[in-house]
Amino acid sequence: MDPEKEFPIQRVIDEDGNLVGDRSGVTDEELLRFYRSLVTLRALDQRAWNLQRQGRIGTYPPYSGQEATQVGVVAALGPEDWICGSYRDWAALVYRGVPMSFPLLNSMGHPISGRMPEAVPALPVQVVIAAQTLHAVGLAWAEKLQGQNRLAVTFFGDGATSQGDFHEALNLASVVQAPVLFVSQNNRWAISVPVSRQMHSPTIAQRAIAYNIEGVRVDGNDIIAVYQTARQLAARIRAGGGPALVEAVTYRLGAHTTADDPTRYRATEEEERLSYGEPVARLARFLERQKLIDDDAKHQIEEEAKAEVEKAVQEAESYPKAPPETVFDHVYGELTPALSAQRQAFMRRLAEGGGARG
pLDDT for residue 355: 61
Q: Say if residue 1's pLDDT is above 50.
A: yes
Mean pLDDT of all residues in 190-206: 96
Q: What are phi and psi of 276, to 5 degrees?
A: -60, -40
Q: How far apart are CA 221 and CA 212, in angstroms?
A: 27
Q: Say if residue 63's pLDDT is above 70.
A: yes
pLDDT for residue 134: 99
Written in H, E and C, the secondary structure of the chain is: CCHHHHCCEECCECCCCCECCCCCCCCHHHHHHHHHHHHHHHHHHHHHHHHHHCCCCCCCCCCCCCHHHHHHHHHCCCCCCEEECECCCHHHHHHHCCCCCHHHHHHCCCHHHHCCCCCCCECCCECCCCHHHHHHHHHHHHHHHCCCCCCEEEEEECHHHHCHHHHHHHHHHHHHCCCEEEEEEECCEECCEEHHHCCCCCCCHHHHHHHCCEEEEEECCCHHHHHHHHHHHHHHHHHHHCCEEEEEECCCCCCCCCCCCHHHCCCHHHHHHHHCCCHHHHHHHHHHHCCCCCHHHHHHHHHHHHHHHHHHHHHHHHCCCCCHHHHHCCCCCCCCHHHHHHHHHHHHHHHCCCCCCC
pLDDT for residue 58: 97
142-166 pLDDT per residue, tens: 999 999 999 999 999 999 999 999 9
The answer on 332 and 208 residing in a single domain is no
The answer on 242 and 328 residing in a single domain is no
Mean pLDDT of all residues in 204-212: 97
The answer on 150 and 21 residing in a single domain is yes
pLDDT for residue 117: 95
The answer on 157 and 182 residing in a single domain is yes
pLDDT for residue 354: 66
Answer yes or no: are the C-beta atoms of 289 and 303 closer than 8 Å.
no
Residue 123 confidence class, pLDDT cut points 50, 70, 90: very high
291-307 pLDDT per residue, tens: 999 999 999 999 999 99
Q: Say if residue 356's pLDDT is above 80.
A: no
The answer on 328 and 181 residing in a single domain is no
Q: How far apart are CA 187 and CA 68, in angstroms?
A: 12
Q: Say if residue 357's pLDDT is above 60.
A: no
The answer on 292 and 178 residing in a single domain is yes
Which is nearest to 40 in space by CA: 12, 13, 63? Answer: 63
> Annotated active-site positions, please?
252, 256, 265
236-288 pLDDT per residue, tens: 999 999 999 999 999 999 999 999 999 999 999 999 999 999 999 999 999 99
The answer on 17 and 120 residing in a single domain is yes
The mean pLDDT value of the chain amounts to 96
Q: Say if residue 358's pLDDT is above 60.
A: no
Instruction: Centre a 10 Å sphere on the Cβ of residue 106 and count the other Cβ atoms it contains.
Output: 23
Q: Say if residue 4's pLDDT is above 80.
A: no
The answer on 245 and 327 residing in a single domain is no
Domain housing 163: 3-318
The answer on 346 and 218 residing in a single domain is no
Share of the chain above pLDDT 90, in %: 92
The answer on 237 and 332 residing in a single domain is no
Mean pLDDT of all residues in 309-313: 99
The answer on 352 and 264 residing in a single domain is no
Least confident of 60-64, 196-200, 226-230, 350-354: 350-354
CATH number of the CATH domain containing 90:
3.40.50.970
Answer yes or no: are the C-beta atoms of 321 and 110 closer than 8 Å.
yes
In total, how many domains does the chain have?
2
The answer on 211 and 72 residing in a single domain is yes
